[in-house]
Amino acid sequence: MRVIAQPAFNARNDNPYTWLLYRHMAADVTDFSYRRALAARYDIFHIHWPELELNAFRSSIKAAARLRLKLSLIDAIRARGTRIVWTVHNLKSHDVMHPRLERWFWSEFIKRVDGYIALTSSGREAAKERFPGLARVPGFVVPHGHYRGEYPVDADIDARGELNIPSGAKVFLSFGQIRDYKNIPTLIRVFRRTKDKDMVLCIAGRPNPQSLSEELQREAAGDSRIRLHMQTIPKERVQFLFRAADLVVLPYRDILNSGSALLALSFNRPILVPARGAMGELQASVGMDWVRTYQGNLDDNELTQALTWATAPRPKEAPLDDLEWTRIAGQTLKAYAEIL
């Protein structure tokens, strides 16, 4: 089977999800480019984040031109027999820079989808509700795999020492690219209402847009317990942030799936997430020892209670056997075959 995917292998440094998926897949997989898509015939064109191009340009004219080009390419290769498969990571763009254009694009894109893959059952239902046109094509549930083994771990190095965090501190971590929907300024405000001097909050990730950096610096000013690491974290240093943390907090206002949640669990760190999107299903999958959810808005009382929960005894490793990539790649291939 010949597959062209956007992305496939070349996004490993940004997010190893697709690299891990296709590395374990028994198929001929190529990274997407317009030239490659037109120069050869493929059985499957697998698209992961079609919404990214909605935010690639501030000009709606440029964005519309790029999207029309993509849709024309899809029409051309579908006419040759290639089937279009979409993995539903999100149901909309995170920033919604061009609302009218976005409504038009999703309507046109869904018409061209021949099958889709959701990461959870609740994600599949949400996709069908958001896009009724998906009822005409097959849909599958294939979970998000774990990240164990993808990031270096050197257990001989003291993680807290590397980050200049006291060994007895109680450490919260929020990790991942900092976007508006991730609600990090609110997390800082909530944390500042806690009075425990031994608490530390680490925020790690590159702000997008950069103006978020200034906002976070203003919110954190004057509280030495808050550590801001506002840049892309080198792969070899990711381990220190997670190994130093007692609890990973992801206070997103809007969430369907979360790679950061899976990354935390891959480092065997408990997570606190809102009871939105597929987070309840993730909790059911790996257990209440590892995933704690909250209703409504995060507050300092919930944060303090979650820390007590996170530091209670639990097994050494989160149960992620069902999220092995060989299994996930095989499930994806079976979905391709049915769609074909």
Q: What is the pLDDT of residues 284-293, one digit of tens each?
A: 999 999 999 9
Taking 80 as the threshold, does the pLDDT of residue 226 lie above it?
yes
What pLDDT score does 59 carry? 87
pLDDT tier for residue 28 given thresholds of 50, 70 and 90 = very high
Domain 2-145+324-339 has CATH 3.40.50.300: no
Average pLDDT over residues 62-90: 96
Q: What percent of the chain has pLDDT over 70?
A: 100
Task: Identify the CATH number of the domain defined by range 159-320.
Answer: 3.40.50.2000
| 51-65, 144-158, 185-199, range with the lowest pLDDT | 51-65
Same CATH fold, 159-320 and 2-145+324-339?
A: yes
Q: What percent of the chain has pLDDT over 90?
A: 88
- Phi and psi torsions of 297, nearest 5°: -95, 145
What pLDDT score does 234 carry? 95
Q: Where are the domains of the chain?
A: 2-145+324-339, 159-320
What pLDDT score does 219 carry? 96
Taking 90 as the threshold, does the pLDDT of residue 56 lie above it?
no
Average pLDDT over residues 250-265: 92
Q: H/E/C letters for each residue in the chain? A: CEEEEECCCCCCCCCCHHHHHHHCCCCEEEECCHHHHHHCCCCEEEECCHHHHHHCCCCHHHHHHHHHHHHHHHHHHHHCCCEEEEEECCCCCCCCCCHHHHHHHHHHHHHHCCEEEECCHHHHHHHHHHCHHHHHCCEEECCCCCCCCCCCCCCCCCHHHHCCCCCCCEEEEEECCECHHHCHHHHHHHHHCCCCCCEEEEEECCECCCHHHHHHHHHHCCCCCEEEECCCCCHHHHHHHHHHCCEEECCCCCCCCCHHHHHHHHCCCCEEEECCCCHHHHHHHHCCCCEEEECCCCCHHHHHHHHHHHCCCCCCCCCCHHHCHHHHHHHHHHHHHHHC
What are the pLDDT digits (tens) for 91-131?
888 777 888 999 999 999 999 999 999 999 999 999 999 99
What pLDDT score does 146 carry? 97
Q: What is the mean pLDDT of the chain?
A: 95
Average pLDDT over residues 17-29: 97
What pLDDT score does 159 carry? 97
What pLDDT score does 256 carry? 84
| 135-144, 164-173, 195-204, 209-218, range with the lowest pLDDT | 209-218
pLDDT tier for residue 282 given thresholds of 50, 70 and 90 = very high
What pLDDT score does 97 carry? 81
What pLDDT score does 19 carry? 97
pLDDT tier for residue 257 given thresholds of 50, 70 and 90 = confident
pTM equals 0.92
